[in-house]
Structure 1
Amino acid sequence: MEIRRLTVADVPDCMKLITDRGWAWTPEQWELMLALGPAWGAFDETGLLGTAVTTPYPQMQAISGVLVGSWAGRRGIGTQLMTNVLDISPSVLFATAMGEPLYARLGFHPVGATVELQGELTGPASGMTRPATPADLPVLAALDEEVSGFTRPLLWERLLDPASPYRVLMSADGVVATRPNPAGETVGPLIAPSAEVACAMLVDVAAGAGRVRVDTGDAEVAAFLRGRGFEQGGGGCTLMVCGADDVPGDRSRYFAPASHALG
């Protein structure tokens, strides 16, 4: 078996793993992740067996896309891929219930969690936000760094690109974005000064948008969405770190992550 760096040419094979494991990543998400940092694949003579993606920030690296094909299980491939990327520390990731035991064995510990809620918001928008433009990049990158704790201007450059599939709205002291998923739209990041404002921003971005997915670790936002008919989907994810006590930033204002892949 060989572990080597993935390229855009490998995206079709990566999507085979996504389909096999029932994940919701799209080819566009793979291409974004490959642009933001190195990703690694385990190969043998039959082709791609598993993947692990890293997104390096000055503060720590985010790990995501740890996938092993069902046909290649119980061969230690996930452990080998993780060992390959853990030479940089500290690290952060969102773990599914299936992956959490592996990450715990590798030294990760839980520091938070998100619940996945899906539904449709009807009624008028709140009018609290306006569309963001590339001219807003410095402000939004600085706000994101303050709240998420990660320095990632390249991410915001991608999100604000007029050709991007992301839709970004901002308020005086917050930002919310959506991206397409196979069933509708996914919200993230959602940064706001309070849960009340976060809910109003959600209404702006989700009203009339069809089926929307929100991954949140905030009880008030979750209660608001459930009160509007949203239902839980999936098993949620556990936020875990290795080589640090916790994630940086003011996470009390981080109501939905940029994505589970990006921390």
Structure 2
Amino acid sequence: MHNSELHDVATALRTARLDRVPIPAPTKTWPGLDADRAFQVQQINVDHAVAGGDRVVGYKLGNIAKAMQDAFGLDQPDYGYLLATTFACEGTTLDRGRFIEPFVELEPAFVLRAHLRGPHLTVADVITAIDYVVPAIEIIDSRVQNWAIDLPDTLADNGSTGAVLLGGTPRRLTGLSLRDTPGALSFDGRRVVAGNTGAILGNPLAATAWLANRLAAYDIAFTPGQVILPGSCLAAVPLREQGHWSGTFAHLGTVEFDVHTA
């Protein structure tokens, strides 16, 4: 693919996000789009956002748990940038209309106190670099029609990011057992899905090492203060109706938000 075609893909996805009108899978329109070229598309749109006043505040890993891969028909994780404008405050009300076809995920979030640069990082390196953990909700949303995505499609679409809410209960790693921390999502007081952080590549620390090592191929390193989302440990739940969402991890805390529909 020529560089101009990569910019065409980026523009199509950016327009779909702004207009909230999904497009056919980019891999169908641009058959030469592979994972590496798709990540270039992602970077084009991140650069565009930063030039417009946004900023990169971290990175995300998606579809790492089998429940997520089965749900979206993928057999490999995706990954993307976290932009400041993606974040919302817990306890606030989000407008369903800002999304296309959103799903709600519960996952831990790591805030870093040290640099992480791959390749060849280990879980020990990740443990040393983490300042604290908070519960997080990620709302994923695809600019691709009907979520009919292959890996390059979701990579080009910045890992299908929608919104991120961080909980206000920071915890140190000591005292937590992230290979075995139960979590659950509830809607209007009714539990809708449950899981365990052990489903995130054994534990989310290992998933973070995987992400840092993968992004090292693109000369990306994580820096102090950045937020790392290592992926959901449970199946994503469609966000359709007005109501109250709550996500809780044992020993880690709760993060909540409301959703409004017009």
TM over 0.5: no
TM-score by structure 2 length? Answer: 0.28
Higher relative contact order (CA 8 A, sep 6+): 2
- Give TM-score, length-normalised by structure 1: 0.28
